[in-house]
Structure 1
Amino acid sequence: MNNFDSSSAPLKADAVIVGGGWVGSIMAKELTEAGLSVIVLERGPQRKTALEGAYPASIDELRGNIRKYLFQDLSKSTFTIRNDLYKQALPYRRAGAFLLGTGVGGAGLHWAGCHFRVIPEELYLETYLNERYGKATCRNSLIPQDMLVQDFNISYPELEPFFNKAEKIFGTSGEAYKVNGKIIGKGNIFAPDRSEDFPLPALQETYSGTLFREGSEKAGLHPYTIPAANASQAYKNPYNCEMGACNFCGYCSGFDCYVYAKATPNVNILPALYPNPLFRLIDMAHVLHIDKSKDKKRATGVTFADLKTGKTRKVKADLVILGAFSLNNVHLLHLSKIGQAYNPKTGEGMVGKHFNYQTISTSHIFMDKSQQINPFVGAGGSGVAIDDFTLQNLDAEKLGFIGGSALWVNQSGLKPIRAALSHNPEQGRNWGADFKKSLQDQYQHSFAIDSHGNSLAYRNNYLDLDPTWKNAYGQPLLRISFDWNQNDIKMNHYITDQIPEIAQNIHARKWNLNKLSGPFNVSDYKTTHLGGGAIMGDNPQTSVVNRYLQSWELPNLFVIGASAFPHGITYNPTGLVAALAYWSAAKIKETYLKSPGPLCRD
């Protein structure tokens, strides 16, 4: 911090947005359309698909998945992690359990493209459980004492128009089941009603997806094609941004798409923003804290470290929006002393509370050597899923756990280095000729099934400031206290145990089941679907932001992203995050700008 010069005059705008990913780009587009001048601050470098996605460098597995050129430099700023309250947290210095994007586009540049909506019951989980099982049962036996169960304070019908809008912007490929109450296709029979079909037809199905579909149908289950923000054909979205058709190259997650087929802020929104004189994006701008008025009742802007000039600068703005990655949103609230920090011993405070993740385990199915899977073929959102074991389709009281999981085959392209690193020979040595022969035999004849489910919040899973470790700017790192809980482990085991029947139905010669187990291990990748810490709700005693993602404490501050989730959801969170951003932007434009102030009363 002492190395930065603070002599520069402040910048000014109607709104300042922290983060240049999906949320930041959506909010900037919506607010500039309303006539506001907007400055977006992105801590990483500028990234444009014409450069970052240029072929052939864009399909370099060593550069992308191994050296992780699109990801955060963990030597400068990271998080500390521990499994419980009584252990020393240590810095997360090597990307493992989750991958943190940086640069323009953020996580929206390196994501794969699975573009789901949400299971409606997950939006009102507390109400749903009380109505289905009774308050007494929930209180006395069903809900563990240290589990935190709470509603989002928003409904699916309220969000549906914004899910629909996001899919049009993203160019989402899929197959609907029901539109306006009428069955129109062979999509997910458990999905809620839609106002329109997907903007693009579903992606073609890989052979592994076809096998999973066959095995599921024979088991009496209900497979459907995963919705994908990978364009199945050329597409122009409502912002006049153009996408190319996916060619199943297999380089989606961790890469920028060289054929412009994967939805990213860089392809689907920012090209429409750059020509707008009301819009300004500043890269290499690490926001240090939110500035407040003397009476601490309003945000006045932000202070950031300009990494290009070595100066600290301010942006003065009437409206401040946090649209960074979920962990970074919470970190900035802590650093800015906005809201009361959560204390797990007393239960007081909300900032950092309800930290949540997702459960995932990957099992492998081995087919006869006459069957060629071709796993190098793939798209980030390509696959087939079943929802027969999600929250609303299970009896929590009978099974002894709350929640559920989708099962799916998501063939996104198994690349050579990753295939070798993850390979375990059935017999023989784990190196040399035995290893090579086993890898050759298994690569073409096996595929993975994921158990991908929700993860509920717990009293001892939370986010606070680390008392020991600091970042390159002299600020405390965000500390993650997290471990898997028995509810999530039991749920994952039950649903993973459904896989053998599917495998038997397609005459698999073998299967290896992988089940969730504790303690939480940061070394192996799980998902980058982290949430909570600044949750939405109906009053300031039990939430950080209201149903429009507006801070209860500072009415001109909005905190948007998965940080608002009271619990982890079953699906990938990007679809819900985008819908919430459009929902919040609509309310800002329709109501807040006309009469700035609290949009909800406690």
Structure 2
Amino acid sequence: MPLIDTAGLQKEYDVIVVGSGAAGGQTAYTLTLDGAKVLMLEAGRNYVPEIETPMFHTPDQAPLRATSTLDKEFGFYDATVDGGWQIPGEPYSSASTDADRTFWWWRARMLGGRTNHWGRISLRNGPYDFKPKTRDGLGFDWPISYDDVAPYYDKVEMLVGIYGDNHGLENTPDSPAGCLLPPPKPRAGEALIQKHAKKTGVPVIAVHRAVLTQQLDFKRNAALLHPNNPRAQQIVADSMRSRAPCFWATDCGRGCSIKANYQSTTVHLPPAMATGNLDILPNAMVREVEMGKNGRATGVVFIDKTTGKEQRAKGRIIVLAASACESVRILLNSKSAQFPQGLANSSGKVGKYLMDTVGASVSGQIPMLEDLPPHNEDGAGGMHVYAPWWLYKEQMAGKLDFARGYHIEIGAGRDMPSFGSTSGLANHVGGYGKKFKQDMRRYYGSFVSLVCRGEMIPNEDSYCEIDPEKKDQYGIPTLRFHWKWSEHEKRQALHSHQAFTEIIQNMGGRVTGKQDLLPGGYIIHEVGGAIMGADPKSSVVNQWGQSWDVKNLFLTDGAPFPSNADKNPTLTIMALAWRSADYMLAALKRKEL
């Protein structure tokens, strides 16, 4: 079962998976390796990072020196092919024109989705993060605990390859032996921040990121991941063996031709396809889920973007893994006499409680980092260290004026020069000729950034709905967003400014810039919209991501999240997708679905 077009569709599949990123890739991987026949529908084009990644290319070899453009928000070399916050022919809208009430919706529109260009920060949610309402009375508890998800975190880490370390810190879970790869050493600027952050009580530790620092133990890992399944073990071991460790040459956001970092396109999809159980159909824009008279989903309706024609696919189970907002759009557009307000929406909660990550930052210039001898600090294509939230006890004691925390993402080092990385030197470099060159060498690499990534509490004013007037170029009604940050998030961002300023000053540096609270959606961590819960009256899906209303309809992306911890959501999405897929497999074998 290969990459296909609509002519190659089978009459019916065990499972249809809509989306091919972290959620869709993990779901298809788990299902196919256990024998299920799966169709994956991807709204974007095929993408092959092994041959499309510009490894070793320097920024000066790219148009505009690789700086960002309207259609390449993260620069010319970013792995995203056709996606972004704005896609021609695929509009969305905000109900308010106020800058702080708007929402930015990023869509990847390519095989592998956002996993091709993401930051690869892979943090486990902690025990507090699954029961936030129990701790402070705000938001919602998950219907599951950390202990329910922990075995699946283990599996994902062993499959994907996560570097990091264990430190025994509060609500920052350690991983069992054999799950993590050795972390790279801190860069000079990171080590300096680590040293001086201690003065303010901030622990700077090795971050967990989805990049191979050494080859995976493919025999051991494959056997642990797929016990009693020799064929799956062999397929997964072969796939792991094909991945090379990072050799610190190219930014991860470009993709990776040697498969050192995690992308669905190089980690999840190759073994799934090797089973012969997966068909992948790119350029398939799903419009709605179709229902049968028995109250079960029967398949999906999609637009073949290559022909513009409406097509159908049939499946025993339908999985929406298209990203939180896209899955919500499909549900809301799947109206029928049984579900006049949208599919699986008897609770009225589809589209509600949309969340993103709190984003703010402070940058500074550090004299101690001036005039460093030239050396390569490219590293693992992203940060090597970070600071987890460190004020849980103070928060519970009522010493802070906001309820949830943030972690600190650290930027420091002498990255490969480009237009963007040198433009900040303008306020420090003077003259021309020899003096100009001396100043450039002196100041380059002496800048640091401290970035807040914090938890948002779900609120009634942040949601999405179908726009009553607009449709995209395929005739599919589009989304309209409502957004509001609460005082908790605003105060959290202000707290980060104060904490980061103090760290920079402790380093003997000076603040050169501050970024206030960013708009919703800008961090591209949106979750919620079809939250899970224990009560069908107040939630959309159960603990397995299974719709309360339609038993063979599942959501495995971020839409079921009832809270959005400060931890980046991708690792949790994959862990929950694996858990949900195991549940589907058991139900298929029992012939319940």
- TM more than 0.5: yes
Q: How big is the shift at 1:35?
A: 2.1
Distance in 1 (CA, whole Å) between partners of 2:372 and 2:105 is: 33
Q: What is aligned with 2:81?
A: 70
TM-score by length of 1: 0.82
Distance in 1 (CA, whole Å) between partners of 2:449 and 2:374 is: 11
- 2:133 is the counterpart of 1:120: no
Distance change in 2, residues 1:428/1:225 (3 Å)? closer
Q: What is aligned with 1:472?
A: 473
- 2:210 is the counterpart of 1:229: yes
Distance in 1 (CA, whole Å) between partners of 2:371 and 2:551 is: 63
Distance change in 2, residues 1:9/1:325 (3 Å)? closer
Distance in 1 (CA, whole Å) between partners of 2:523 and 2:491 is: 19
> Which of 87, 112, 117 is equivalent to 1:110?
117
Q: Supply the AA of the counterpart residue of 1:120.
A: P
Q: What is aligned with 2:260?
A: 261
Q: Supply the AA of the counterpart residue of 2:44.
A: G
Q: What is aligned with 1:40?
A: 40
Secondary structure of residue in 2 paired with 1:399: coil
Distance in 1 (CA, whole Å) between partners of 2:304 and 2:41 is: 10
Q: What is aligned with 1:483?
A: 484
1:355-377, CA deviations, whole angstroms, 9 ceiling, x for partnerless residues? 00111112112111234697962
Secondary structure of residue in 1 paired with 2:307: coil
1:13-39, CA deviations, whole angstroms, 9 ceiling, x for partnerless residues? 111110111211211121123322111
> Which of 145, 149, 173 is equivalent to 1:192?
173
> Which of 170, 195, 202 is equivalent to 2:183?
202
Distance change in 2, residues 1:434/1:570 (3 Å)? farther
Secondary structure of residue in 2 paired with 1:514: strand
Q: What is aligned with 2:396?
A: 395
Distance in 2 (CA, whole Å) between partners of 1:471 and 1:399 is: 45
Distance in 1 (CA, whole Å) between partners of 2:257 and 2:538 is: 45
Q: What is aligned with 2:362?
A: 363
1:503-551, CA deviations, whole angstroms, 9 ceiling, x for partnerless residues? 233222x124525347x388xxx41111110111111111111110001
Distance in 1 (CA, whole Å) between partners of 2:485 and 2:434 is: 38
Asked if the contact 1:121–1:392 (Cα under 8 Å) also holds between the matched residues in 2, the reply is: no
Secondary structure of residue in 2 paired with 1:501: helix
Distance in 2 (CA, whole Å) between partners of 1:9 and 1:476 is: 26
Asked if the contact 1:47–1:104 (Cα under 8 Å) also holds between the matched residues in 2, the reply is: yes
Distance in 2 (CA, whole Å) between partners of 1:340 and 1:151 is: 29
Q: How big is the shift at 1:562?
A: 1.1
Distance change in 2, residues 1:218/1:392 (3 Å)? closer
1:81-114, CA deviations, whole angstroms, 9 ceiling, x for partnerless residues? 3447x99x99x9xxxx564212111111111211
Secondary structure of residue in 2 paired with 1:107: helix
Distance change in 2, residues 1:71/1:225 (3 Å)? farther
Distance in 2 (CA, whole Å) between partners of 1:425 and 1:308 is: 47
> Which of 557, 581, 586 is equivalent to 2:582?
586
Which structure 2 residues correspond to residues 56-205 of structure 1 after superposition, within 5 A?
A: 56=56, 60=62, 61-62=66-67, 65-67=74-76, 69-72=80-83, 74-83=87-96, 99-130=106-137, 149-178=139-168, 188=169, 190-205=171-186
Q: How big is the shift at 1:308?
A: 2.5
Distance in 1 (CA, whole Å) between partners of 2:313 and 2:252 is: 35
Count of residues in Structure 1 that have an aligned counterpart in Structure 2? 548
Q: What is aligned with 1:24?
A: 24
> Which of 320, 327, 340 is equivalent to 2:318?
320
Q: What is aligned with 1:15?
A: 15
Distance change in 2, residues 1:321/1:446 (3 Å)? same
Q: How big is the shift at 1:258?
A: 2.9
Asked if the contact 1:166–1:579 (Cα under 8 Å) also holds between the matched residues in 2, the reply is: yes
Q: What is aligned with 1:311?
A: 309
Q: How big is the shift at 1:199?
A: 3.3
Q: How big is the shift at 1:495?
A: 2.8
Distance change in 2, residues 1:57/1:483 (3 Å)? farther
Distance in 1 (CA, whole Å) between partners of 2:198 and 2:359 is: 23
1:212-233, CA deviations, whole angstroms, 9 ceiling, x for partnerless residues? 1111223333221000111112
Asked if the contact 2:386–2:408 (Cα under 8 Å) also holds between the matched residues in 1, the reply is: yes
Q: What is aligned with 1:419?
A: 421
Distance change in 2, residues 1:502/1:312 (3 Å)? same
Distance change in 2, residues 1:555/1:428 (3 Å)? same
Q: Which consecutive unaligned segments of at least 5 residues does structure 1 have?
A: 1-5, 131-142, 144-148, 179-187, 598-602
Q: How big is the shift at 1:392?
A: 6.0
Asked if the contact 1:81–1:481 (Cα under 8 Å) also holds between the matched residues in 2, the reply is: yes
Distance change in 2, residues 1:170/1:507 (3 Å)? same
Distance change in 2, residues 1:151/1:438 (3 Å)? farther
Asked if the contact 2:387–2:409 (Cα under 8 Å) also holds between the matched residues in 1, the reply is: yes
Bigger CA drift: 10-19 or 116-125?
Answer: 10-19
Q: How big is the shift at 1:394?
A: 2.2
Secondary structure of residue in 2 paired with 1:76: coil
Secondary structure of residue in 1 paired with 2:144: coil
Q: What is aligned with 1:291?
A: 290
TM-score by length of 2: 0.83
Distance in 2 (CA, whole Å) between partners of 1:569 and 1:540 is: 23
Asked if the contact 1:484–1:517 (Cα under 8 Å) also holds between the matched residues in 2, the reply is: no
Secondary structure of residue in 1 paired with 2:252: coil
Distance in 2 (CA, whole Å) between partners of 1:506 and 1:468 is: 54
Asked if the contact 1:364–1:446 (Cα under 8 Å) also holds between the matched residues in 2, the reply is: yes
Asked if the contact 2:181–2:212 (Cα under 8 Å) also holds between the matched residues in 1, the reply is: yes
Asked if the contact 1:305–1:313 (Cα under 8 Å) also holds between the matched residues in 2, the reply is: yes
Distance change in 2, residues 1:119/1:373 (3 Å)? farther
Distance in 1 (CA, whole Å) between partners of 2:183 and 2:7 is: 54
Secondary structure of residue in 1 paired with 2:578: helix
Q: Supply the AA of the counterpart residue of 2:188.
A: Y
Secondary structure of residue in 2 paired with 1:51: helix
Distance in 1 (CA, whole Å) between partners of 2:470 and 2:437 is: 43
Q: Supply the AA of the counterpart residue of 1:161.
A: P
Q: Supply the AA of the counterpart residue of 1:209.
A: E
Q: How big is the shift at 1:302?
A: 0.5
Secondary structure of residue in 1 paired with 2:111: coil
Asked if the contact 2:493–2:517 (Cα under 8 Å) also holds between the matched residues in 1, the reply is: no
Asked if the contact 1:152–1:536 (Cα under 8 Å) also holds between the matched residues in 2, the reply is: yes
Instruction: Determine what percentage of the aligned residue pairs are the same residue.
Output: 23
Asked if the contact 2:389–2:405 (Cα under 8 Å) also holds between the matched residues in 1, the reply is: no
Q: What is aligned with 1:140?
A: none
Distance change in 2, residues 1:442/1:551 (3 Å)? farther
Distance change in 2, residues 1:51/1:545 (3 Å)? same
Q: What is aligned with 1:137?
A: none
Q: Supply the AA of the counterpart residue of 1:311.
A: K
Q: How big is the shift at 1:411?
A: 5.1
Distance change in 2, residues 1:37/1:232 (3 Å)? same
Q: Which consecutive unaligned segments of at least 5 residues does structure 2 have?
A: 1-5, 223-235
Q: What is aligned with 1:183?
A: none
Distance change in 2, residues 1:217/1:521 (3 Å)? closer
